[in-house]
Chain A
Amino acid sequence: MNKKTRLSDAIYYIFVIAFSFLMLYPILWMFGSSLKPETEVFSNAAALIPIEWDWLNYPEGWEGFGGTGFDVFFRNSLFVTGMVVIGSLMSCSIVAYGFARINFKFKKLLFVCLISTVLLPIQIILVPQYLLFQQLNWVNTFYPLIVPHFLGGTPFFIFLLIQFIRGIPKELDEAAIIDGCSRFGVFWRIVLPLLKPALVTVAIFAFMWSWDDFLTPLIYLNSVEIQTVSLGLRNFMDAEAGTSWGPLLAMSSLSLLPQFILFLFFQRYLVDGISTTGLK
């Protein structure tokens, strides 16, 4: 029996470790190849470690194309993502409190509306929303990327926070109200501080998704100087048309860096977040 478990353990570990290598290969390959000189990207294509290390890919890629460097794209991305995180935290927390604790007319119906939009595919509203933002003269500005998030743009977050608030004892609210606290005061002084762990989860997901987003910037941002990293990267790919893979991969690696750092420090929240609510 003992021998048998040891054998199965060995098979398990060999499989799991070999498979992790396979899973991480594309990512490691990207970092490795970002340091390969131009010729080596093809002649030494599959290797993870370059024969000759070419650090110049990074400054060269950072220059960008057509006079616009990646410093501009990173600044834009950080601004948009920062605003999206702030907007999501503010709007989703207060809306969630309203749904979780206050009785108002048509609450059940509106809650059903909220849940159904969680599952709504975006392409249904893609074109009409574009027409709306065009009427408002918002095309080619950051507004279409930011404003929806100040209006509870991600129903998933609201849902997550409602679930969390329902777990906070109602007696705390009632005690505060008897002491003369207003509803908003209860939200601000009692519920919000207790909501911190869930808010961290929301902030991280908002950051990850907004940083990654490609479709919205592609539709709304035309001028080069307001484009985000994901869009800049795509245009960089088109502009260089396969001639300078080194700098392109260097910038790809850099574009993933914020997400990796966040994952490293907050993976607990991410894993808890998806396992409790099924977020992705």
Chain B
Amino acid sequence: MKSNQVLENRTVSPAFVEKERKRRRMKESLTGYAMISPWLIGFFGLVIGPMIYSFILSFTDYDMLSAPKWAGFSNYIELFTNDPRFLKALKATFTFVAIAVPLKLAFSLFLALLFNTGRKGSGLFTTIYYVPSIIGGSVAISVVWRQLFGRDGAANTILDSMGLGTISFFGNADAAMSILILLIVWQFGAPMIIFLAGLRQIPQDLYEAASVDGAGTIRKFIKVTIPMLTPIIFFNLVMEMIAGFMTFTQAFLVTGGGPRDSTCFMRCTCMKLLSSF
């Protein structure tokens, strides 16, 4: 803008100004591309390229040694009709996500509401509750889980001392699924902090107005908190579902996908297939 005014003051021809403006826009565009080039290379080279390549390969017969042969939809038909492992993985993954995600969100919302009451020390407690979210995906925690729920582990010791007998957590499909769900729900700290930030954004006068109109605590929750929090609930739901579908380390290390592939989620199956080459 400013440079154009300078040019006009010197009374140069409008055609020259137009040309100059175009040249500058061009230069600006090139600078922009230069700056985003790292991402651009990564996006086309490491994401889009390989994605298209694998999509094309999915219609072929390919053993990584000889050249791929066109096979139409046969791989997909095989996958859905003649591969019990795939269907089992699909079912296990969906069961896992359908239970773990709502549970995790309910927990995080409940505790966020509790910490939003403005009592002292809530900062310290949110920090404590957030710790598992940071380290929950690590191999170390999987090691701990394996030992805690082992045959002679802490969980069985406690159950036994309460006179409830012991459970073979890794031998029983439901029990194995439950300890994986527990491991995921345990990491509710991150969505809790997001909820807490969302709750603090809700204007206080809405609650005051509702009180004046005679609404109780539950009614205020349903009529004010939930509608105001909907975008954040939705955000957390999407994020947790994506993370849930991608669960790998825990299933791979804690239960090893067992017993009998009952906790072998899609990614785990993917990995097992890959390593069988």
Contact of B36 among A12, A110, A131 (CB under 8 A): A110
* Shortest CB distance A209–B (Å): 9
Interface size on A, residues (CB 8 A): 88
In Å, the complex CA distance between A131 and B51 comes to 11
- A20-28, A51-59, A62-70, A194-202 - interface stretch: A20-28
- A278 to B194, Cβ gap below 8 A? yes
A29 cross-chain contacts in B, Cβ below 8 A: 144, 148, 154
Q: Does A7 contact B (CB under 8 A)?
A: no
Residues of A within 8 A of B152 (CB): 42, 45
Closest Cβ–Cβ distance, residue B22 to chain A (whole Å): 13
**Contact B28–A102 (Cβ < 8 Å):** yes
In the complex, which of the residues A30, A148, A150, A158 has the most CB atoms of chain B within 10 Å of its own CB atom?
Answer: A30
A95 adjacent to B143 (CB under 8 Å): no
A249 beta carbon closer than 8 Å to chain B: yes
Contact B253 A234 (CB under 8 A): yes
Residue A132 is within 8 A (CB to CB) of chain B in the complex: yes
Closest to B191 in A: A280
Q: Which residues of B contact A33 (CB under 8 A)?
A: 147
A23 and B143 in contact, given A94-B35, A98-B35, A102-B35 (Cβ under 8 angstroms): no
Contact B238 A119 (CB under 8 A): yes
Q: Are B147 and A245 within 8 A (Cβ)?
A: yes
Q: What are the residues of chain A within 8 A of B125 when measuring CB–CB?
A: 16, 20
In the complex, are the beta carbons of B36 and A98 less than 8 A apart?
yes
- A104 x B28 contact (CB < 8 A): yes
Give the distance in Å from the alpha carbon of A126 to the alpha carbon of B53 in the complex: 12
**Which residues of chain B are within 8 angstroms of A155 by Cβ–Cβ distance?**
39
- Which residues of chain B come closer than 8 Å to A248, judged between CB atoms? 143
Contact yes or no, B144 A26, CB < 8 A: yes
Contact B28 A103 (CB under 8 A): yes
Choose among A127, A237, A259 the residue that contacts B134 (Cβ–Cβ < 8 A): A259
A164 within 8 A of B: no
Within B150-196, the residues touching A (CB, 8 Å) are: 150, 152-154, 156-158, 186, 190, 193-194, 196
Give the residues in chain B near A104, CB-CB below 8 Å. Answer: 28-33, 36
Of B12-20, B77-85, B208-216, B242-250, the one contacting chain A is: B242-250
Partner of B239, one of A208, A249, A280: A280
In the assembled complex, 9 residue pairs joining A and B whose CB atoms fall closer than 8 Å, in A order, are A12-B117, A26-B144, A45-B154, A102-B31, A102-B32, A114-B43, A151-B38, A255-B140, A267-B130
User: 8 Å CB contacts to A: which residues of B33-51?
Assistant: 33-36, 38-43, 45-47, 49-51
Q: A77 vs B34: C-alpha distance in the bound complex, in angstroms? A: 32
Interface size on B, residues (CB 8 A): 83
Q: Is the CB of A24 within 8 A of B51?
A: no
Asked if A1 CB lies within 8 Å of chain B CBs, one says no
Residues in B neighbouring A132, C-beta threshold 8 A? 45-46, 49-50, 53
Q: Is A271 in contact with B127, judged by CB distance below 8 angstroms?
A: yes
* Chain B interface residues (CB < 8 Å from chain A): 2, 25, 28-36, 38-43, 45-47, 49-51, 53-54, 57, 64, 114, 117, 119, 121, 125-135, 137-141, 143-148, 150, 152-154, 156-158, 186, 190, 193-194, 196-197, 235-236, 238-239, 242-243, 245-246, 248-249, 252-253, 266-267, 270-271, 274
Give which listed residue, A12, A105, A117, A260, contacts B114 with CB less than 8 A. Answer: A12
| Complex Cα gap A110–B216 (Å) | 48
In the complex, A42 Cα to B42 Cα: how many Å? 49
Q: Is the CB of B139 within 8 A of A230?
A: yes
Q: How far is the CB of A11 from chain B (nearest CB, A)?
A: 11
Given A104-B33, A249-B143; A178-B47 close (CB under 8 Å):
no
CB <8 Å contact, A12 and B148? no
Are A178 and B2 CB-contacts (below 8 A) given A252-B144, A275-B194? yes
Which B residues lie within 8 Å of A123 (CB)? 246, 266-267, 270
Please name all residues of chain A whose beta carbon is closer than 8 Å to the beta carbon of B36 when the two chains form the complex. 94-95, 98-99, 104, 110
Q: Does A41 make an interface contact (CB < 8 A)?
A: yes
- Check: A256 CB closer than 8 A to any chain B CB: yes
B270 and A280 within 8 A (CB): no
Binary contact readout A242-268 vs B (1 if CB under 8 angstroms, 0 otherwise): 100100110011011001100100010
CA distance A13 to B267 in the complex (A): 41
List 17 other contacts, CB 8 Å, given A46-B157, A103-B32.
A12-B114, A16-B114, A24-B131, A26-B141, A45-B154, A98-B31, A98-B36, A103-B29, A125-B46, A129-B46, A155-B39, A178-B2, A214-B138, A229-B139, A233-B139, A256-B140, A280-B133
Residue in A125, A184, A237 whose beta carbon sits within 8 Å of that of B47 in the complex: A125
Q: In whole angstroms, what is the CA distance A118 to B186 when docked?
A: 24
CB distance from B94 to the nearest CB of A (A): 14
CA–CA, A219 to B252, complex, Å?
Answer: 13
Chain B residues within 8 Å of A75, by CB: none
Interface string of A108-137 (1 = CB under 8 A from B): 001001100101111111111111100000
